[in-house]
Amino acid sequence: MTKAFMIFVLVVVLATSLSNSNVLASSVNNRFGYDYCIKPCSTYFSNEFCYKVCTQDGYYSDGGCIGFIQDQQCCCKKC
């Protein structure tokens, strides 16, 4: 490899490591097309209750508990 190519590769690696990696991360409030997450789900705040809360005012057309079982969030979606 040439010296210029090695310098180019090192500059690219350095620039990549210094760049903001959060640009590629999506928001936790935008999971699976849902617009707004309001609170964590629990045994008392179930999927059915989440749906009722999201759709009661007519602003959102769907809602449910989404995410991994240990940290599910009640999220609402406009369809």
Instruction: State pLDDT tens for residues 10-55.
Output: 777 766 766 655 444 444 444 567 888 999 999 889 999 999 999 9
Whether 52 is in a domain gets the answer yes
What integer pLDDT is reported at residue 24 of this predicted model?
Answer: 44
CATH of the domain at 71: 3.30.30
Whether 25 is in a domain gets the answer no
The parent domain of residue 64 ranges over 37-79
Whether 24 is in a domain gets the answer no
Whether 60 is in a domain gets the answer yes
Vertex 57 angle, CA 37 and 69, to 5°? 30
Reported for 18-26, long-range contacts at CB under 8 A and 24+ positions apart, including other chains, are: none
Whole-model pTM: value is 0.56
